[in-house]
Amino acid sequence: MSKKFDNLKILESRTLYEKHGKVIVEDILEFADGSTHEWVYFKGSGAAGAFAGAVAVAALTKDKKMILTKQYRHPLRQLIYDLPAGGMKEDEAPEQAALRELEEETGYTAEKLEWIGRFNWNPSIMSGTVEIFFTRALKSKGNFNLDEIANIEFVDFGTVLERVLKGEYIDSALVIAALLISARGLHVF
């Protein structure tokens, strides 16, 4: 089967939808054996149409509380807890984007960020990755973007981890970040 993917060619690529930073693309692929396949996927907007990527920030306070946002997510028809997160702007470094998103969504910034991992939501239909950053060095700036529609809550990290393990928190960035923090012992200080 691996030879089938040698010399993969994109015969045709067309944008099916583009609005609000969301792009759906259809590519017609030709495999080494001559077979073709239509592949429809989400592609982020960015330089020359490339996925600019996304970031998420897992931040703990000195008393081991994690800053979470609670937002309505229409596809799920419910409020969910997640991390301060969002897309990177063109020519923006991941760390810059993480600090910007943290401040926009929570009114906090961080003295330093540590990269702890990356993931892709669904590689079969999504391009790009989410870069996860961690900090214990939160500083209140007192102002956040009023266009953000999130509630901010500080939740004890032990409770966050328990809710992740019970399946109560379902946001992928939050789940992955909590497990990485626990596995690396970053919550112990």
Could you list the residue range(s) of the whole structural domain that residue 174 is in? 54-184
Domain match, 13 and 75 both? no
Q: Which of these, 183, 178, 171, lies nearest to 60 by C-alpha position?
A: 178
Angle between the N-to-C axes of helices 172-184 and 157-165, in degrees from 0 to 180, rounded to the nearest 10: 120
Is 177 inside any structural domain? yes
Q: What would the pLDDT profile of 77-125 be if each residue is shown by its tens digit?
A: 999 999 999 988 888 999 999 999 999 999 999 999 999 999 998 888 8
Domain match, 75 and 168 both? yes
Is 6 inside any structural domain? yes
Domain match, 11 and 66 both? no
pTM of the predicted protein model: 0.83
Is 174 inside any structural domain? yes
